[in-house]
Chain A
Amino acid sequence: MADLSAYRFTKTHEWVRDDGKGEALVGISDNAQSQLGDVIYLDLPKVGATLGAGARFGAVESVKAASDLFSPVGGEVVAVNADVTASPELVNQDPYGRGWLLRLRVEGDPPGDLLDSAEYDSFAKADSH
């Protein structure tokens, strides 16, 4: 299992990993991909788009359902993962690694309510039904 100490999570099941140099990767959690089932495609923003923290930036569609995606932090999209666009199953197979969705140039302070890995695990357990 990946070392998740650098990851922070939202209550809408996205993660953000800040590289400490002003940029961050964004993806969805292992719990999210497991709940969704096989990802069939991702609706993601274009490079250059500006996202606000907590704003809806796209959707992930699986056999089971379509689920909106919300940005953990505010920033400008500097890269979209072409690998997941071509092979959406990467999100299921490696949600914290090769299944990353966006790279952002972070703007503004991170929201105060992001969870660390342990907090997110507790939240996800309580949240699931």
Chain B
Amino acid sequence: MSQDVKTVPLDALHRSLGAQMVPFAGHSMPLHYGSIRAEHLAVRERAGLFDVSHMGEAIVKGPGAEGFLENLVTNDVSKLTPGRALYTVMCHPDGGIVDDLLIYRDDERFKCVINAARHDVDLDWMRDLLSGHDAEITDVSAETVLLAVQGPMAKPIVQSLCQGQDLDTIRYYHHRFGEVAGMAARISRTGYTGEDGFELYLASQDAERVWAAILEAGTPMGLVPAGLGARDTLRLEAGFRLYGQDIDETTDPLSAGLGWVVKPAKGPFIGAEALAKLASAPPRIFIGLKLGAREIPRHGNPIYRGSRRVGEVTSGSFGFTVGRGLAMGYVEPDSAERGTDLRVQLRVEPPQWAEAPVVALPFYKRPGI
């Protein structure tokens, strides 16, 4: 490989479990441990254990930290109280998205969790904007391992490993410091699968022990290790955007259906003016299309309305739970209404088309929500 690909701390462990490793965002990561389909279904029916330590983490602290972040991101950081997590995007002045990220607040500091593929770009962007703010940024990515336990059995499995904590008291999008398998962890009730679950931020040197403990406690309850392949099919069913596919510097959060993380009333932030102008007429709209059971759309497939091209697929794959090909993408505003009949060009040679009406996202919702 021409580029430098990093190995994650648990690399040897993944290989010993039979993982097929692939390069992703500069890291060698497990794509699957045997079957994407089996891992996807296991997460929805029981539980899956993901190593997502390729993600980046940066601590922002200092008296000016909140003001710095308030200017940096579109969502309202003043509403982020200790113990909560905030999903937001940060934009260029023209409204294009630099990255989507999660921000945790502890008492004296914030932690930003950023996409692996954007690690260097994000940190450069943030550091360049620090001047004038009494705050500092520390990149802790290399010392942090992030494990995700996701699925209906996630809570009992993780609970069995943290005796001193009642996980029922950590609500969705909240977090608390505790111990998992005796190791210090930030226990966050978040995830990227559409299921209940926890993301556990650990020190790298503790990761192997915690992974092993989760597997040991979880396997009798049906937990399996799950890779990036299942992570992608799960998040697609749940309608979650992926930076680099659905959102990037050429897309704004309003077009992307992420207007709910843009809070113009909070005061000035980078991109506020551009987004205010776009608010009344976004140039395109993010939609979902549910195809047939034998039709699999892919990133880049053109979307037509009749004989006219109106947009493009940005995320496409097969939803193993819904049993259908699923597409998310952008179309012209006139073609974005639910129920509009569109067609996706799946293949040019031989020509293959799929007809699909625009549907609401997500494609799958966990029962009981």
Residue of A nearest to B232 (CB): A63
Most chain B CB inside 10 Å of its own CB: which residue of A38, A61, A92:
A38
CB–CB B317/A63 < 8 A: yes
Indicate whether A37 sits within 8 Å of B318 (C-beta atoms), given known contacts A89-B35, A89-B37: no
Q: What's the Cα separation between A37 and B346 when bound, in Å?
A: 19
Q: What's the Cα separation between A41 and B294 when bound, in Å?
A: 6
Indicate whether A37 sits within 8 Å of B32 (C-beta atoms), given known contacts A63-B317, A63-B318, A66-B296: yes
Q: What's the Cα separation between A61 and B37 when bound, in Å?
A: 13
Q: Which of A43, A61, A66, A92 contacts B35 (CB 8 A)?
A: A92
Indicate whether A38 sits within 8 Å of B296 (C-beta atoms), given known contacts A63-B233, A63-B317: no
Looking at the assembled complex, report how far the CB atom of A129 sits from the nearest CB atom of chain B, in whole angstroms: 11
- What is the 8 Å Cβ interface bit string for chain B, positions 314-330, against chain A (1 contact, 0 not)? 00011000000000000
Looking at the assembled complex, report how far the CB atom of B325 sits from the nearest CB atom of chain A, in whole angstroms: 8
Q: Give the number of chain A interface residues (Cβ < 8 Å).
A: 10
- What is the 8 Å Cβ interface bit string for chain B, positions 291-313, against chain A (1 contact, 0 not)? 00110100000000000000000
- Interface residues on chain B, size class: 10 to 19
CB–CB B293/A41 < 8 A: yes
Q: Is B82 an interface residue (CB 8 A)?
A: no
Looking at the assembled complex, report how far the CB atom of B60 sits from the nearest CB atom of chain A, in whole angstroms: 37
Looking at the assembled complex, report how far the CB atom of A98 sits from the nearest CB atom of chain B, in whole angstroms: 16
CB–CB B347/A63 < 8 A: no
Q: Is B55 an interface residue (CB 8 A)?
A: no
User: Which residues of B are found within 8 Å of A43, using beta-carbon distances?
Assistant: 294
CB–CB A38/B35 < 8 A: yes
CB–CB B229/A40 < 8 A: no
- What is the 8 Å Cβ interface bit string for chain B, positions 83-99, against chain A (1 contact, 0 not)? 00000000000000000
Q: Is B36 an interface residue (CB 8 A)?
A: yes
Q: What's the Cα separation between A63 and B36 when bound, in Å?
A: 8
Q: What's the Cα separation between A40 and B229 when bound, in Å?
A: 14
CB–CB B293/A38 < 8 A: no
CB–CB B347/A37 < 8 A: no
CB–CB B294/A63 < 8 A: no
Residue of B nearest to A38 (CB): B37
User: Which residues of B are found within 8 Å of A66, using beta-carbon distances?
Assistant: 296, 346-347
User: Which residues of A are found within 8 Å of B31, using beta-carbon distances?
Assistant: 37
Q: Which of A37, A41, A61, A89 contacts B229 (CB 8 A)?
A: A37
CB–CB B35/A40 < 8 A: no
Q: What's the Cα separation between A78 and B31 when bound, in Å?
A: 38
User: Which residues of B are found within 8 Å of A63, using beta-carbon distances?
Assistant: 36-37, 229, 233, 296, 317-318
- What is the 8 Å Cβ interface bit string for chain B, positions 35-46, against chain A (1 contact, 0 not)? 111000000000
Looking at the assembled complex, report how far the CB atom of A39 sits from the nearest CB atom of chain B, in whole angstroms: 9
Q: What's the Cα separation between A82 and B28 when bound, in Å?
A: 38
Most chain B CB inside 10 Å of its own CB: which residue of A61, A63, A89, A92:
A63
Interface residues of A in 40-68 (CB under 8 A from B): 40-41, 43, 61, 63, 66
- What is the 8 Å Cβ interface bit string for chain B, positions 218-243, against chain A (1 contact, 0 not)? 00000000000100010000000000
Q: Which of A37, A38, A61, A92 contacts B294 (CB 8 A)?
A: A61
- What is the 8 Å Cβ interface bit string for chain B, positions 326-369, against chain A (1 contact, 0 not)? 00000000000000000000110000000000000000000000
Q: What's the Cα separation between A40 and B36 when bound, in Å?
A: 11
Interface residues of B in 21-37 (CB under 8 A from A): 31-32, 35-37
Interface residues of A in 54-103 (CB under 8 A from B): 61, 63, 66, 89, 92
16 pairs of residues in contact across A and B, judged by CB atoms under 8 Å: A37-B31, A37-B229, A38-B35, A40-B296, A41-B293, A41-B294, A43-B294, A61-B294, A61-B296, A63-B37, A63-B229, A63-B233, A63-B296, A63-B318, A66-B347, A89-B37
Q: Across the A-B interface, give the 9 residue pairs with the lowest CB-CB distance, nearest first.
A: A38-B37, A41-B294, A38-B36, A40-B318, A63-B36, A61-B296, A38-B35, A63-B318, A63-B317
Interface residues of A (CB under 8 A from B): 37-38, 40-41, 43, 61, 63, 66, 89, 92
